Amino acid sequence: MKKRMYPAKVKVRDVHYDITLTECVDPTDSGDTITRGYCETKEKLIVLDSTLSEQELFETFLHELLHAAAHEHAIKLKHKTIYALEGPLAQIIRDNFIFVPKR
Ligand SMILES: [Zn+2]
């Protein structure tokens, strides 16, 4: 895996979401032809486009995590709110924390 290391799983509330990086992002239930990633809340799966730049990939990761967190905590978040939060959240984490995935 290139760039930033991502964990194979991420715990959201009390469930684990598998994280997959792939060059071929193809959401099953979306008509979108272009997507940077997606979150399947039933399958507990986050898929990310591995061809993105490091910054895009991290923002997409946070975007999909926000979908997972909203689902697992039954928080109603509008999609435009998730889009608005992904960049600022990525900046705060990037500029203040070292991201070390569990093995
Ligand atoms: Zn989304």
- Give the Å distance between the CA of 96 and the centre of ligand 1: 25
Higher pLDDT, 34 or 97: 97
Band (72; pLDDT cuts 50, 70, 90): very high
Q: What is the pTM of this model?
A: 0.86
Domains, in order of start, for the chain = 9-96 (3.30.2010)
- Give the Å distance between the CA of 103 and the centre of ligand 1: 27
- Give the Å distance between the CA of 86 and the centre of ligand 1: 10
Q: Are 17 and 46 in contact (CB under 8 A)?
A: yes
Round to whole Å and give the CA distance between 47 and 20: 5
Specify the DSSP element, H or E, that contains 63: helix 54-72
- Give the Å distance between the CA of 100 and the centre of ligand 1: 24
Token pair 């992002």: residue: 25
Question: How many residues are listed for the chain in this entry?
Answer: 103
- Give the Å distance between the CA of 9 and the centre of ligand 1: 19
pLDDT at 98: 84
**52-64, pLDDT tens digit by residue?**
999 999 999 999 9
